Structure 1
Amino acid sequence: MTLPIDVTLQLPEPRTPDPHEAPAIRWGVLAPGGIAHTFADAVAVGTASSVVAVGSRSKERAQDFADEFGIARAHGSYEDLVADPEVDAVYIASPHSEHHDHALLAIEADKPV
């Protein structure tokens, strides 16, 4: 059977988007634990985004993390981090058992997680 029209479809070549071409996000890191180090390294190397703030239950711990990664602002509470107007989105780096509460904290502050 012959069809009256050509039904072959030419798909474009696959392409991997360059993450540096995506809009930059100003990240806040909630809880400067082990995975937060991995996240901060990945953001710095693999995107146009940046980590601009870190929040911890301890101001000293937040400051140590900020100093290590060249982050401008260190907050001594999670509440202060999510209230920071320079933060576009929050990366939750706390233990899994605390993710729900910390995600709600950020969401209630109108921050994507």
Structure 2
Amino acid sequence: MTLRWGILATGWIAELFTADLKLAGHMVSAVGSRSQASADRFAAAHGIPRAHGSYEALCTDPEVDVIYVATPHPQHAACARMALEAGKHGPR
């Protein structure tokens, strides 16, 4: 099974992680940001097919199996919990 990755946040670390995933042959199927404009820019820059204007929308995307949380540390726990509660922690 090929994991379909979602990237939660669009900062520098997200850029590096996305590039590494793609370099290793992984599929990045969506990105989520706090704004649609930021998600659209990130998706266009990295060839990602879907861009979500909220973290919640990314977490509920049925085309995402696992989410990489790239938020700053103070937001990390809440966003990781949201992804886990949405079942986005790997193959089922």
* TM-score, normalised by the number of residues in structure 1: 0.76
Note the residue ranges of structure 2 that are not aligned, 5 or more in a row: none
Aligned residue-pair number: 90
- SS of residue matched to 1:90: strand
- Residues 1-113 of structure 1: pairs in structure 2 closer than 5 A: 23-47=1-25, 49-112=26-89
Rg larger for:
1
* TM-score, normalised by the number of residues in structure 2: 0.93
Note the residue ranges of structure 1 that are not aligned, 5 or more in a row: 1-22
For residue 111 of structure 1, report the CA deviation from its aligned partner: 1.0
Q: What is the distance in 2 between the residues matched to 1:46 and 1:112?
A: 19
For residue 50 of structure 1, report the CA deviation from its aligned partner: 1.2
For residue 110 of structure 1, report the CA deviation from its aligned partner: 1.1
For residue 35 of structure 1, report the CA deviation from its aligned partner: 0.4
Instruction: Please name the residue that 1:11 is paired with.
Output: none
Give the structure, 1 or 2, with the largest relative contact order (CA under 8 Å, sep 6 or more).
Answer: 2
